[in-house]
Structure 1
């Protein structure tokens, strides 16, 4: 769980590749673009980065999944919260799409996500995205030595409540590094001072997921997760490093 300086350096490079991937995808988020084409962009950017960089999600089979994941990214549109499989769906004006990317670089993983607007979107969708992004920043600010996992969750949940949106409580952040998913589990809600204490060298994937509706979710046929009430959802994520000073964002 605690990473060495050498391991952190590898994660920094993986995080740089991940950020470059998201920026390339962002430039292609337009009405009429197919989700599959965004997946191909990610594959190309990651593989061309060199050093054996590889899309971490491709072929990944988490506990409970029926089959390995078939794509390089997750592309989750509108009410789909996470794990949307890129297909032939064409983005439409007014959609929002969450792109989740994982990079494996020389044996170490980074994980990051952003929600993007497709053309002009509703004010409600804008507020949802802005709030989720703000919650990520507030959660990261709490990721300091001596604080706890509960402090991160408390800050994230407080932001959701303040802005009238809802935490998707069934989905969480996690440790990341030698594996894509490591301890500890990072809930997007919590009590101040509760849970595991944060230590220098920890690397965490903090990822608030908010919805305009209740935040209750269901698993769909393609094993993605969508809101039960069909309300819009947003997802922002960074891989961060706990240091003796302020947290370092490895995917920025």
Structure 2
């Protein structure tokens, strides 16, 4: 299903996006050396529920996972990149942490992810990974707008990631979003311009470039959810929910202040 939101629904989507951005920024500030991933999950739960919102993850049980997920946020560390299940692990200096959060507020969902380095260390490889995903996301957003096609976004994202020298996995990518978290159209992280669904005002998309240093192959943890690089290399993942407007694309999950 491809859902086109009304102007009133897009307004509600702005509120959801602002909440997601606020929670992620708060959790980033709290995630220091020694913080346990289960603490982050509990903080996310508290902030979601106190805002009168609902988690998109707790009862999430797609065919590719061993569901339901049962947690409020995805926490992926170092070689983990997608669907990271919170577990009893305390963050160390130099860890590359990805937080991926999706919530629903007043019937509209928003989805975003941030990758950052914990502590004082700044490993060059991790800095480059994060920068590549952020630049690819910016390129994808710049390519979005009424009349553009999904392939234009995919090509823009993929061009940045390829230029940076990273292999691209095509199994997981961006997606439509609205009254539910995952909808059509699928937005791969590489593609051909001028192809695919034509964007219309009112369409919401979650764009999410992610890469692994030296492989495009994923392996799944015993938890049935957490996806890691097959070689153990580091990974990064950046995501925003955007709304297609009459004159471009509006980022709904951008942190304020």
For the aligned pair, the TM-score class normalised by the smaller chain equals over 0.9
- How far did residue 156 of structure 1 move? 0.8
TM-score, normalised with respect to structure 2: 0.94
User: Whole-Å Cα distance in 1 between the matches of residues 122 and 55 of structure 2?
Assistant: 30
Q: Who is 2:126 aligned against?
A: 125
* Aligned partners of 1:135 and 1:156 also within 8 Å: yes
User: Whole-Å Cα distance in 1 between the matches of residues 10 and 108 of structure 2?
Assistant: 9
* CA-to-aligned-CA distance 1:39-63 (integer Å, 9 cap, x gap): 11111112222xx311211121123
What are the equivalent positions in structure 2 for 1:147-162 lying under 5 Å apart?
A: 147-162=148-163
- Give 3-state SS (helix, strand or coil) of 1:20's partner: helix
Q: Which runs of 5+ in 2 are unaligned?
A: none
* CA-to-aligned-CA distance 1:173-220 (integer Å, 9 cap, x gap): 100011110100000000010111111110000000111111211222
Q: Who is 1:225 aligned against?
A: 227
Q: Who is 2:247 aligned against?
A: 245
User: Whole-Å Cα distance in 1 between the matches of residues 39 and 243 of structure 2?
Assistant: 32
User: Whole-Å Cα distance in 2 between the matches of residues 168 and 64 of structure 1?
Assistant: 16
* Aligned partners of 1:150 and 1:192 also within 8 Å: yes
User: Whole-Å Cα distance in 2 between the matches of residues 64 and 126 of structure 1?
Assistant: 30
Q: Who is 1:34 aligned against?
A: 36
* CA-to-aligned-CA distance 1:156-179 (integer Å, 9 cap, x gap): 111011111222322111000111
* Aligned partners of 1:14 and 1:104 also within 8 Å: yes
User: Which is worse superposed, 181-190 or 159-168?
Assistant: 159-168
Q: Which runs of 5+ in 1 are unaligned?
A: none
User: Whole-Å Cα distance in 1 between the matches of residues 37 and 86 of structure 2?
Assistant: 5
TM-score, normalised with respect to structure 1: 0.96
- Give 3-state SS (helix, strand or coil) of 2:57's partner: coil
* Aligned partners of 1:142 and 1:151 also within 8 Å: yes
Q: Who is 2:24 aligned against?
A: 22
* CA-to-aligned-CA distance 1:201-245 (integer Å, 9 cap, x gap): 100000001111112112221121111111111000011000111
Q: Who is 2:59 aligned against?
A: 59
Q: Who is 1:207 aligned against?
A: 208
- How far did residue 64 of structure 1 move? 3.6
Q: Who is 1:185 aligned against?
A: 186
Tell me, yes or no, if structure 1 residue 108 matches structure 2 residue 108: yes
- Give 3-state SS (helix, strand or coil) of 1:159's partner: helix
* Aligned partners of 1:93 and 1:121 also within 8 Å: no
User: Whole-Å Cα distance in 1 between the matches of residues 63 and 11 of structure 2?
Assistant: 29
Select the residue among 42, 45, 48 that pairs with 2:47: 45
* Aligned partners of 1:136 and 1:237 also within 8 Å: yes
Q: CA RMSD in A?
A: 1.1
User: Whole-Å Cα distance in 2 between the matches of residues 168 and 114 of structure 1?
Assistant: 19
Residues matched between the structures, number: 250
User: Whole-Å Cα distance in 1 between the matches of residues 54 and 179 of structure 2?
Assistant: 14
